[in-house]
Amino acid sequence: MARWPKKAAETLGLRNCGGRRFVAPAMAKLSTYHQKRDFGLTREPRGAVGKGDKHRFVIQRHAATRLHYDLRLELGGVYKSWAVTKTPSLDPAVKRLAVEVEDHPIEYGTFEGTIPEGQYGGGTVQLWDRGTWRSQTDTPERDLEKGHLKFVMDGERMKGKWALIRMRDDKHRPGTRVRHNWLLIKEIDDEAARGSKGDALQKAVTSVKSGRTLDEIADRSRKVWNSNRSVKENVKALKRKPAKKKKKAPAKKKPAKKKKAKKAAAKRKRK
Ligand code: MN
């Protein structure tokens, strides 16, 4: 941030940051962008620099223990992530619970396939929506810290203005690190729809990547994300073409037995 004589700053079209401090509007945006990234570690996200305020987003519909929608907003080189417990509603009067989860790597954003049973997030993942988003303010990082992000989505299914509002933490457990609960709310605009029309997105059950339903992905998916492997290993495995007519290695007997025993135990329990 440079100190400028006021007249010179005005001539150059710089933005006043208080006192005699001025910055060029574009640079103000990029400075945050640069601070947030370690270019030695992260692959440069497509389009983020040139367009300044556009970021990718994805929503992965995830048939785990319970069906939910994993909303991921690209920011600072990662996907900020929330597990939305029900289909997002187009009705501004309907709030959806969005449980904050850990940041996800950008590479995860194109994944569609299965996570093996027994692993973290085990189940089928469907790429339900993708596109770009931008903040309604110049300070999305600060807004997220404060628990109040207003943004605009330009996806195949999610469009227009939305808000993420963080709920208060449990007063009875001060200081404990819990998962923050947020609310995902549609804001009033042309894309909003009241009443039963607000449920329109529930009819969207196919993948925006492959057109497949969750069942179809589960049936025929060769793509597997092993959550006990690193991102690099997973991406490498997904890129690898399946070997031609290679005989499957015989499954290790011990884990299979264990799994069966576990399943049987679970069945007995249910009964
Ligand atoms: Mn999930």
- Taking the model in full, what pTM does it have? 0.69
pLDDT digits (tens, 9 = 90+) for 74-104: 999 899 999 999 999 999 999 999 999 999 9
206 pLDDT more than 70: yes
Q: Ligand 1 centroid vs 86 CA: distance in angstroms?
A: 12
Specify the pLDDT at position 58: 98
Model pLDDT, residue 177:
61
- The least confident of 23-32, 74-83, 116-125, 219-228 is 23-32
In this predicted structure, what is the pLDDT of residue 28?
45
pLDDT level of residue 36 (50, 70, 90 thresholds): very low
Q: Which pLDDT score, from 0 to 100, does residue 267 have? A: 57
**Mean per-residue pLDDT for 119-141?**
94
The total number of residues shown for the chain amounts to 271
Q: Give the distance (Å) from ligand 1 centre to CA of residue 74.
A: 16
CA of 119 to the centre of ligand 1 (A): 12
Checking if the pLDDT of 208 tops 90, the result is: yes
Asked if 123 contacts 225 with a C-beta cutoff of 8 angstroms, the reply is no
Ligand 1: centre distance to CA 24 (Å)? 40
8 CB-near residues (< 8 Å, 6+ apart) = none
pLDDT reading at 213 higher than 70: yes
Distance 246 CA to ligand 1 centre (A): 32
Contact 185, 163 (CB under 8 A): yes
pLDDT of amino acid 223: 83
Q: Identify the pLDDT of residue 179.
A: 79
Say what the pLDDT of residue 34 is. 47
Helix (H) or strand (E) holding 56: strand 55-63
Q: How confident is the model at residue 13 (pLDDT cuts 50, 70, 90)?
A: low
pLDDT score for 119: 86
Q: How far is CA 247 from CA 71, 220, 232, 242, 244, in A?
A: 38, 18, 26, 12, 9
In percent, how much of the chain has pLDDT > 90? 52
Instruction: Give pLDDT, residue 1.
Output: 45
H or E segment and range at residue 8 = helix 6-12
Query: Distance, CA 135 to ligand 1 centroid (Å)?
Result: 24
Tell how far the Cα of 126 is from the centroid of ligand 1, in angstroms: 10
What is the rounded average pLDDT for all residues in the chain? 80
Tell me the pLDDT band of 111, cut-offs 50, 70 and 90: very high
User: 64 CA distance to ligand 1 centroid (A)?
Assistant: 7
What does the domain layout of the chain look like in residue ranges? 1-35, 40-239
